[in-house]
Structure 1
Amino acid sequence: MQPHLRFPIEDVSQVGEARRAALHLAGGLGFDPEACGRLALMVTELGTNLHRHVGPGRQAALLMAAVDGQVEVLSLDQGPGMDVHRCLQDGYSTGGTAGTGLGAIRRLAARFDAFSAPGRGTVIATRASADAPERRPVVPPTPGFDIVGLTLAAPGEQVSGDAWTVRTLEDHCLLLVADGLGHGPDAAEAADLMVSLLHRMPDGTASPASILERTHDPMRSTRGAAVTLACLDLTTPSLVVSGAGNVSGRLISGVVDRSLLVQHGTLGVQVRRLQDMRYEWPAHAVLVLHSDGIQSRWKLDDVPGLLQAGPACVAAWILRDHLRGRDDATVVVAAPRRPVA
């Protein structure tokens, strides 16, 4: 997966730069002129809102990437916050406008999620599809996992030395985050090979430790990577985790915050015998995996309601507030998805 592009919005002229980048991504995905127009409107509204209501010095930015044939656009800021429910209602405005912007974005978007806290800022996660809203199929939720990942390349780099992926099997899925040593193309080569090895593994039912041990020798052709692999089983619900290096994992809910144990070492360089660790999945908990481009001592218990906002908002909130800013950074959030009764 390509890293997200980040566009700070400190000046109104930067909204146009972000819009042009979004349309470039859309062109690569075969969006027709109508779909490009919807995307341009979404990006313009999000960027203009950041400029108008947040202002400089509050980490206002748009993130975007091509994801699963769609253009993902996220708006992040540390501004005063807003009442999301009221702002989605047409006619409500705090800035003297017509008050249709956020509601229009939700109607145009293939996916939309938002969360805001007073004095803490706002995150809005959207995806634009090539299909018009009226032609998009309605797919009811099914058992499984909602999994969202955000990746930023290190400053000055065009590629990220981090990579993440999901391999879905019959009754479970394998979630991988790999952090190639260093950053730049050589680190990206190591992380990308780890992703490829997971998907080429003939026995996807093997334990995470066994899978990683089989990748150790092939990874010797690279500079190596820190890796965490989690097997997510919805039927239990539980997960089994194995890893080597500094890709961190936590199971977190309103009452639980449990760090996942991994070993020291680097796949492809040196690693001790890997072990599997099994964890029960507490009710309403989400799984967070992240590379060391994210500060490790973060917490969410002082942001009521965030965990219910959806994985994209959780990932964006963590990235916004805890980005180290000098290395590649990846945050992946997984939450069980339940069918509608």
Structure 2
Amino acid sequence: MRAIAVKDVSQVAEARRTAVLVAKAVGFGEEDAGRVAIVATELATNLIKHGGGGELLVGSYSDRTGNGVECLALDKGPGIGDFEAASRDGYSTAGSQGSGLGAIARNSHQVDVFAPMGSGTAILVRFREGRPVPGLVSSMPRVGAINLPKTGEDVCGDAWSRVTHARGYKLVVADGLGHGTYAADASQAALRVFQDEKASAPGQILQKMHLALRPTRGAAISVADVDIERHQVTFAGIGNVAGVIVNQDGSVRQMVSHNGTVGHVAKRVQEFIYQFAGEPLIILCSDGLATNWNLRAYPGLAFRHPTLIAGVLYRDFTRGRDDVTVVVTRGEAA
């Protein structure tokens, strides 16, 4: 995923170019890439007109809904309130022609918005190959993530992965020590172990990672096994990585991670089991995200697209001095 600061009109072109590069990298042809360019331009322009500037995140995705490109526009402006009204051509609060949000909706396959009055705007847009079909509602993905390198770095030292099994899924977030290439080497080594040992329990996976990461600079890692049938999460973590269960009533359960660095110092690997009811959100994040957030401060956000949830948390709580990863999942058995 790439982040483009959009503070003035000179940065709109950069946002458009970046979006087109991502589209072509995933195999989009000229027509599909052109739609991505239109929407990226509108999103970036709206960040300036209505949000007082903000940030456009662009990346690829691959999940049960398919493969494609996603753009996430984030600002801390006044919000929108009535998005449906704002999407109608001719509606404007900035003296423009009022066709921007309508163009976004017409040229994309999925749009999700969180923009309460006075609390900023977050707009997620997704594209697949082929023309969008008006009125066709895309199914809701079960996982979404923000994964960004520290400003000035070309690679992200964090990594994450999710695999399904018969009763649910396993999830991992690895935060390589520091940032840059060597941090990425450590986190990618952790993901290789995760794929090889995905049938094992979280504690066993961490033990295997501890051995495999010895030649690297090490990492902070959390592993969660979400069992939908048994309504429980088995969690094991080493280092400054956060795991949170957000229940449907808004209550939050923090999961415990022990001190240490996987690959170097891990005095104790311990699994903890947490029960849940209903269909909670499971959120894992690296220490690039501050820990003082609470979804109860964002009424309705917990029911939005997982990537949109991750984006709002990133917007409001990124530390801004490290790689950052936020992974949001909803429960579903394979």
Q: TM-score, normalised by structure 2?
A: 0.91
Q: Secondary structure at the match of 1:133?
A: coil
Partner residue, 2:182: 186
Distance in structure 2 (CA, Å) of the matches to 1:123 and 1:139? 19
> Aligned letter for 2:215?
S
Partner residue, 1:334: 329
Distance in structure 2 (CA, Å) of the matches to 1:282 and 1:88? 37
1:32 aligns with 2:29: yes
Distance in structure 1 (CA, Å) of the matches to 2:177 and 2:42? 39
* Per-residue deviation, residues 113-147 of structure 1 (Å, max 9, x unmatched): 11012211011111222222249998767xxx711
> Aligned letter for 1:81?
G
1:6 to 3, 18, 21: 3
Contact 1:74 1:123 in 2 (8 A): yes
1:47 to 44, 49, 56: 44
Q: Secondary structure at the match of 2:331?
A: strand
Partner residue, 1:81: 79
Distance in structure 1 (CA, Å) of the matches to 2:109 and 2:161? 22
Partner residue, 1:302: 297
**Is the alpha carbon distance of 1:319 and 1:210 closer, same or farther for their aligned partners in structure 2, counting shifts above 3 Å?**
same
Contact 1:113 1:312 in 2 (8 A): no
**Is the alpha carbon distance of 1:139 and 1:296 closer, same or farther for their aligned partners in structure 2, counting shifts above 3 Å?**
closer
Partner residue, 1:171: 167
Q: Secondary structure at the match of 1:241?
A: strand
Contact 1:256 1:285 in 2 (8 A): no
Partner residue, 1:94: 93
Higher mean displacement: 242-251 or 132-141: 132-141
Contact 1:8 1:61 in 2 (8 A): yes
Partner residue, 1:266: 261
> Aligned letter for 2:212?
P
1:157 aligns with 2:153: yes
1:246 to 240, 261, 275: 240
1:61 to 55, 58, 81: 55
Structure 1 residue 39, shift from structure 2 partner: 0.4
Q: Secondary structure at the match of 1:188?
A: helix
Q: Secondary structure at the match of 2:250?
A: coil
How do 1:217-296 and structure 2 match up within 5 A?
Answer: 217-253=211-247, 254-283=249-278, 285-296=280-291
> Aligned letter for 2:217?
R
Distance in structure 1 (CA, Å) of the matches to 2:136 and 2:211? 44
Q: Secondary structure at the match of 2:307?
A: helix
Partner residue, 1:215: 209
Q: Secondary structure at the match of 2:45?
A: helix
* Per-residue deviation, residues 239-281 of structure 1 (Å, max 9, x unmatched): 1111111110111244311111111111111112312111122
> Aligned letter for 1:175?
L
> Aligned letter for 2:262?
L
Distance in structure 2 (CA, Å) of the matches to 1:159 and 1:39? 24
Partner residue, 2:127: 128
Distance in structure 2 (CA, Å) of the matches to 1:234 and 1:113? 26
> Aligned letter for 1:199?
Q
Q: Which runs of 5+ in 1 are unaligned?
A: none
Higher mean displacement: 315-324 or 66-75: 66-75
Structure 1 residue 110, shift from structure 2 partner: 2.7
1:110 aligns with 2:104: no
> Aligned letter for 2:31?
E
The number of residue pairs the alignment matches comes to 328
Contact 1:5 1:152 in 2 (8 A): yes
Structure 1 residue 66, shift from structure 2 partner: 2.2
Contact 1:172 1:232 in 2 (8 A): yes
Structure 1 residue 170, shift from structure 2 partner: 2.9
Higher mean displacement: 70-79 or 209-218: 209-218
Q: Secondary structure at the match of 2:244?
A: strand
* Per-residue deviation, residues 27-67 of structure 1 (Å, max 9, x unmatched): 212211110111011101111111111224xxx11011122
* Per-residue deviation, residues 148-200 of structure 1 (Å, max 9, x unmatched): 11011112111111001112223321110000011110000000111111112
Q: TM-score, normalised by structure 1?
A: 0.90
Contact 2:106 2:134 in 1 (8 A): no
Partner residue, 1:146: 142
Q: Which runs of 5+ in 2 are unaligned?
A: none
**Is the alpha carbon distance of 1:328 and 1:241 closer, same or farther for their aligned partners in structure 2, counting shifts above 3 Å?**
same
> Aligned letter for 1:291?
S
Q: Secondary structure at the match of 1:38?
A: helix
